[in-house]
Amino acid sequence: MGNPDRRIFIGTSGYYFDDWVGTAYPALTKKSGMFEEYMKLGFNSLELNFTYYKLADALQLSGFSKKAQPDFAYIIKAYGKVTHEKAGRDLIREVKENYLKGNSNNNFKGMLLQFPESFRRTKENSEYLQMLGEEMKDVPLFAEFRRSDWINDETFAFLAKNNLLYVAADLPQAGNLPPKRIESTGESSYLRLHGRNKNWYTAEDRYDYLYSEGEVREFRSDIVKLMQKTKNVFVFFNNCHGGFAVRNALMLQKMIDAGGGL
């Protein structure tokens, strides 16, 4: 796609969903075959999310690394205790070491730090972020904020100073959720697309949202802007309900391919 030194990685946030069988995957796909079916879709990246719910050891991570070629890109979602409970240094170091040892095929491209809406922009939380950057300096760290008070120039300068990479999130405009702000704080940038379900706080599945063609075209424009600033752009659709993320990711890929890349 365009400059060979710059790459666009497109995929989805997770791959292991029952409601993708018959929608994104062939009917009767078994759980053991979901990863293979994901790879058949032709994406060049995947955000691994099971690592948020459990502390993945190096052996588990290595298994995934070996399943894909070196030019494939995995982003590993940080263990929930790191982002939601302010883990101590020992656990943070364990998460880091498991990531580094598990990167057998050199295709882990970073770790996603998804902070909850309750994670306010305070001195204490800024110091925690700084500590994460220090303890995990060998791992590219992508920070996603779910609260609008973080989305400002001061935060971007802080992230850049501490070698933390900003995640531009697309979310419904509700509550304290932040607006989408296209920005980068390092050599890689990140778009994480959650859908725009207006019933975010009450819906049975907040990720039940299919982006329109016009909305996906908007994301293509965002990528153009980011490609002017950064070496790599990671784009992950997290509107995973009913395989919507796959449909939208394929739509975006088709738009990019139709234009001869970016």
- 48 in any annotated domain: yes
Give the DSSP per-residue string, 136-203: TTTS-EEEE--SGGG-SHHHHHHHHHTTEEEEEEE--S-TTPPPP----SSSEEEEEE----TTTTT-
Q: Does residue 196 have a pLDDT over 50?
A: yes
Record the pTM.
0.96
- 155 in any annotated domain: yes
- 2 in any annotated domain: no
Say how far apart CA 177 and CA 215 lie, in whole Å.
Answer: 19
Q: Does residue 4 have a pLDDT over 60?
A: no
- 90 in any annotated domain: yes
Select the more confidently predicted residue: 35 or 257.
Answer: 35
What Cα–Cα distance (Å) separates residue 221 from each residue in 126, 165, 214? 31, 20, 11
Domains in the chain, number: 1
Domain of residue 37, CATH code:
3.20.20.410
Can you read off the two tokens belonging to residue 24? 């994104």
Sign of CA dihedral 28, 34, 40, 46: positive
Domain range spanning residue 179?
A: 7-258
254 in Cβ contact with 211 (< 8 Å):
no
Output the pLDDT for position 1: 43
Distance, CA of 211 to chain centre: 17
Residue with tokens 């997290």: 238
pLDDT tens-place string over residues 160-172: 999 999 999 999 9
Per-residue pLDDT band for 260 (boundaries 50, 70, 90) equals: low
Question: What integer best gives the mean pLDDT of the chain?
Answer: 96
90: which residues sit within 8 A by CB, 6+ positions away? none
Interval 95-113 mean pLDDT? 98
184 in Cβ contact with 226 (< 8 Å):
yes
Interval 234-239 mean pLDDT? 98
Say how far apart CA 50 and CA 60 lie, in whole Å.
Answer: 11
- Give the CA diameter of the chain: 51
